[in-house]
Structures are given as structure tokens and as C-alpha cells.
Chains A and B, each alone.
Chain A
Amino acid sequence: MKPVAFAYYRPQSLAEAVRMLREHPGSKPIAGGQSLIPLLNFRMARPEALVDLNRIPGLDEVEVRGQRLRIGGLVRHQQLHEHPLVRQHWPVLAQAAGEVGHWAIRNRGTLGGSLAHADPAAELPAVMVAADAVFELVSADGVRQVPAREFFYGYLMTALQPDEVLAAVELPLASGTSWGFAEVARRPGDFALAGAICECRPDGTGAVTWFAVGGGPERHELVVAADANERAAQWQDLAATLDAQDDYRRHLAAVVAETAYLRSLGRDGQ
């Protein structure tokens, strides 16, 4: 028994959950608990109450709505990794979800939790920024849409208010852009030391979105050079602008960018 004492509420609907978050100051949502419970166990988080999102129906759905792929906040990482619609429309997201922690972590951890927690080394926030996703944030006042590119402020800081629930994300259905993902971690399942998502459009323009090499996802647009040496210089120049911990991370940033780029072309990259 390690966490401080807290009250526990298990709402049966989203409306009930956001009302509870509003009514109980010092309360926090809990989803998969894969980031929050370690913080509770070490008493780094001391909430007065937890509002458990796990039994809210409808928050774990994946569907295509018009021209967007809609994914509920309670979708587990392993579901995201395996879901046929995610594999079909956003294979790079399915791949990234498979890199989150280990099997037992992925069975419980959720997309909404990963985005709300905003660990700088997390894969899913970076994919959301790369994909230009829009987040649906629900509170007792109603719903607001926030683009992923405006949501992440920096290390563990986001636009999310304490009484809001991240109910769903929407991604545009991909259109002729090819994507590649790469990360370097010390051991499989560890948080990445550096990771990148590379997007290449048919007209030669593209972008790289890095994670684990700054306070949050870092996206840079560029025209990727076809020549490998020129490209290496491009990655190095961009990596030099990162607020990374040290030169080793900047070096890794260039390495993962190149691997992600090669993978976006369907080449193996190492």
C-alpha cells in the first residue's frame, strides 16, 4: 500500500465523468494508469480523488467518419497496434503504438492517457503532431477541438484543463503521402532516446517530426534531398536546432530521421 489515500469514482458516462471532475477539486482522471499509478506509488502525484474513465461506454471506438479516422481516448495501445482500420489508414500510427512499452503495458495504457501525460519521449503525441490530428476535449461546459500542433506546450505540459477529458482524436485520411517511423531505445520497450516520423509527399516536399530530443514533438518541414550526403547535412543542420540533452541525442536524431526517411520510401534503412 503505497499511494496516498484518495476517493475513487467510477462514472458510467462521459457527462458524469466531467461533472465529477468539476465537482471534486484535486481530482484527476485515470485511464490505463500506466503513467499515473507509478507516480502514485512513489507519491509524486497526490490526487484527492480519481475519476476512473475505464467503464465509460463508447470511448474505445475506432471508426471512419467522412474523411477522418476517429479514435476514442480509451483505445489501448495494443488495440491501436492491431486495429484493421488503423493499419489500413494510418499504418505508421499502428507501428508506433507497437513500440510503446511492453505487451502488458500496451494491454492497459490508452491513447488519451499518453497524449494527456505528454512525456517528451512518447511515440503517440509525435504521430498526432505529424498527422495533424485534432483532439476533442470535453468538459462540463461542452466540447472544444484543439489541433495536436497547438496542444503540446512542452515537458508534460499541454492545453488540457484539469477538468477536461480527451475523448477522441481525429486524423485526416492519408492522401498520397508516404510515412516512415524509427526510434532508438536502449532495450525494447524502453522509452526512446530519439525517434522520428518522416513524411514525404509526391512533389518532393516533406517533414520530419522528432520525439525524445526536446520538450515535446518537434516538426520541421523541408524539401528532402535525394542525395544521401546532402540529406545527412540536412538532418544534421536541423538536429543542431533541437533543444536536446546533448550532442549524442542530436546525432541520434539525425540517424532516426534518415532511417524514418528510408522507411517512408519502402527501403529498410539499416
Chain B
Amino acid sequence: MSQAEARQTQRVVLQVNGQRHELDVEPRWLLADVLRHQLGLTATHVGCEQGVCGACTVLVDGKPERSCLMLAVQAEGCEVTTVEGLTPAAGLSPLQAAFQQHHALQCGFCTPGILVTMEALLRENPHPDEATVREALSGNVCRCTGYQFIVDAVLAAAKEGR
């Protein structure tokens, strides 16, 4: 296989935030980059590209996964949800509102990845204890908040039934 051949695009159908997209992608394109550059869904952030920081986390069939460690071609047939897909047409989701109330973000770089991860946690376990929230949060790095307010926000959202 020559480089030119490998660089050819393939047609894929991606299901993102409930919408169907037909796209031409190179096999080497990461899901994170296709979400951002092809679909303009720029809330999904890219920090480390090695799975460590969690900023690129999206939901794949409802489960948090790293979009920097998945090829866009691999997402075919899966339902991908980004934080845009969790945000109502007007206003904020209850979890987002709790983040605002509890000052759970400063620069916001980590926030989309954390929101989708915590949304998945609360769907699986609507009333987590603090240790469970911290364990689920351990895969998302935040350089600003010190995490305490994030934990507060998630517990508050859980208490209010989101």
C-alpha cells in the first residue's frame, strides 16, 4: 500500500448527537479531530492525545470514551454524544446549571469532558456517594479548580435529581 493509497478518504456515516452525518475521512483521522474540524463540534477539547487528560471524552453508545484514542472510521455504527448533545436548545442542563452554581469551572478546558463523564455516571448511578464521584472523575485532569467544587456540583445535581 503506497502512502497515496493509504491517504485516500473513505465514506463513513456517523451518528452524532442524534444526527446522521455522511463524511469522507482518512482512516488515520481521530474521532476528536473529525468532531472538531469536520463537524464543527468544538466543545470537545484536545489536550494530550494520549488518553491521560480526559478533555476529549465523549459518550460512545452512552459510555465515556476518549475521542483522541478512537479513529473516526471506528465510530461508524455507534451513537456518539458530545457535550453539545447534552445541552438543551435553551438554557443549561441541570448538571451544567449545578456546575455554574458551584463554580465548578474556571478556564473551562476540562469541563466538556467532565460533564459527559459525570452525565454518564449519574445515568448509571443516580445517587453516587462522594467516593464514587471522585473515582469516576479520576480520569479527568483539571488544572484550575482543585476538583472540590466539581464534586460539590455533581453531588448537588444528584441530590436535586438532576
Contacts and interface: CB of A to CB of B under 8 A. Distances in A.
A52 B77 CA distance: 14
B6 A105 contact: no
A103 B50 contact: no
Interface string A22-48: 001000000011100110111000001
B22 interface: no
Interface stretch (A1-9, A84-92, A124-132, A167-175): A1-9
Contact of B28 (A3, A33, A34, A101): A3
A52 B75 CA distance: 12
Interface string B7-50: 10010000000000000001111100100000000000000011
B28 A4 contact: yes
Q: Chain B CB within 10 Å — which of A24, A78, A188 has the most?
A: A188
B5 A189 contact: no
Contacts of A228: none
A41 B48 CA distance: 10
Nearest to B33: A1
A104 B27 CA distance: 22
Given A104-B57, A107-B63, A7 B1 contact: yes
Contacts of A42: 49-50
Given A33-B69, A33-B71, A104 B54 contact: yes
A201 interface: no
Interface string A44-82: 000011101010000000000000000000000010000
Interface string A175-195: 000000000000111000000
B139 A103 contact: yes
Nearest to A78: B63
A231 interface: no
What is the interface residue range for chain A against chain B? 20 to 34
A102 interface: yes
Contact of B138 (A3, A52, A189): A189
A251 interface: no
A90 to B, nearest CB: 22
Given A40-B28, A48-B1, 19 more contacts: A2-B49, A5-B26, A6-B1, A7-B27, A8-B10, A33-B69, A33-B71, A37-B51, A37-B68, A38-B51, A50-B71, A78-B63, A104-B51, A104-B66, A104-B117, A105-B51, A108-B65, A187-B138, A189-B139
The 6 closest A-B pairs by CB, nearest first: A102-B139, A8-B27, A5-B6, A38-B50, A104-B64, A3-B28
Interface of B: 1, 3, 5-7, 10, 26-30, 33, 49-51, 54, 57, 60, 63-66, 68-71, 73-74, 117, 135-136, 138-139
Interface of A: 1-8, 10, 24, 32-34, 37-38, 40-42, 48-50, 52, 54, 78, 101-105, 107-108, 187-189
